[in-house]
Structure 1
Amino acid sequence: MPLVPGLRSPYAKIGRLVYFGRMLDKMRLHAAGRLPLADYGANLGKGFDSRCCNFLRVKYEDLQARVLAGDLDDAALLAWCHERGGARTDEECEIWNGFMIKRGWRDGAAGTLAQRITESGLVGQPVLTMFDYLDYDEGRASAPERPWEKI
């Protein structure tokens, strides 16, 4: 996948959560016509997006409409989610972050990750998780910096 200006790493946190900011970026970029649909279109609102919305107990479409209203920053959008779906505890956020940053490492997504690594020509790179894969595939190559240890 190409490096898309304005699409942040899945490791980037908003409040206590990884991935949430990336999902917001995808919503905004898609609405602006700047998200390559050939690479991202099929999974909008699915996969990690769906997991994130399920974790927050909000509907993707509702969050998307709120994001596109354009009057809230990312922290306020997370607060909006907490108002609707209920606030998450520190422990729940720790579990969410731990699950997400390790997805693809010795779990049910390992086969998919291996396939994507091969298809993207990233064999031999230190890609251990889906987050690593996204960063490498989009040209960020942050895995050697071990961003998960800064979370």
Structure 2
Amino acid sequence: MPPRPDPTTLPCSPLDETTGLKYFPRLVEKIRLHQQGRLWEELHQNLGKGMDRWICEFLHLNYDELKARVLEGGSDEELLQWSQEHGRPLNDTDKLVWNSYAAKLGWNDHVTPTLHRRKIENGLEDRADIVTMAHYMDVDEGRRE
């Protein structure tokens, strides 16, 4: 496995939540870290893609518009509130659906081949406990062994 990145260059876990919505804090933290020139370089290629894009689409937001709003400042909670005002409001069922998707992404779905490829690239192919992208990211970024 490649050397671990400097923890100060990493966003939080994809399973962390803002007001009950998984991945949102990671999305905004990636934007902030990138603007500061501190984001782990391996994460640059996926800015606005993959989970970033999917959560924006779920919220009915344009990534670049959200990015501009994040860079204006505000707490994660304020940014999620803005997102719901400029995209679509979420109820508890919406959050349940998104959170289930975010937590299980890579487990027997359209992202499984990507998860498998990344595990091989990082010498983790024998890790049967890594069954979702969230597990992979947490191991890859050093939050989990």
TM-score, normalising length from structure 1? 0.87
Counterpart residue identity of residue 122, structure 2 = S
Match of 2:43 in 1: 40
Cα displacement (A) at 1:121:
1.4
**How far apart are the structure 1 equivalents of 2:115 and 2:75?**
32
1:140 aligns with 2:143: yes
CA contact (8 A) 2:14 2:22 kept: yes
Partners in 1 of 2:5 and 2:123 — Cα distance?
13
The two structures, once aligned, show a CA RMSD in angstroms of: 1.4
Unpaired segments of 5 or more residues in structure 2? Answer: none
Change over 3 Å in CA distance of 1:3–1:11 after alignment to 2? farther
Q: Size of the alignment, in residue pairs?
A: 140
Listed as ranges, the gaps of 5+ residues in structure 1 are: 143-151
In 2, distance between residues paired with 1:113 and 1:45? 18
Most deviating of 119-128 and 43-52: 119-128
CA distance in 2, matches of 1:118, 1:48: 21
Identity over the aligned pairs, expressed in percent?
Answer: 41
Per-residue CA deviation, residues 84-121 of structure 1 (Å, 9 max, x unaligned), is 11211211110111011101101121111111111111
How big is the shift at 1:4?
3.5
How high is the TM-score relative to the length of structure 2? 0.91
Taking the aligned partners of 2:5 and 2:131, their CA distance within structure 1 comes to 20
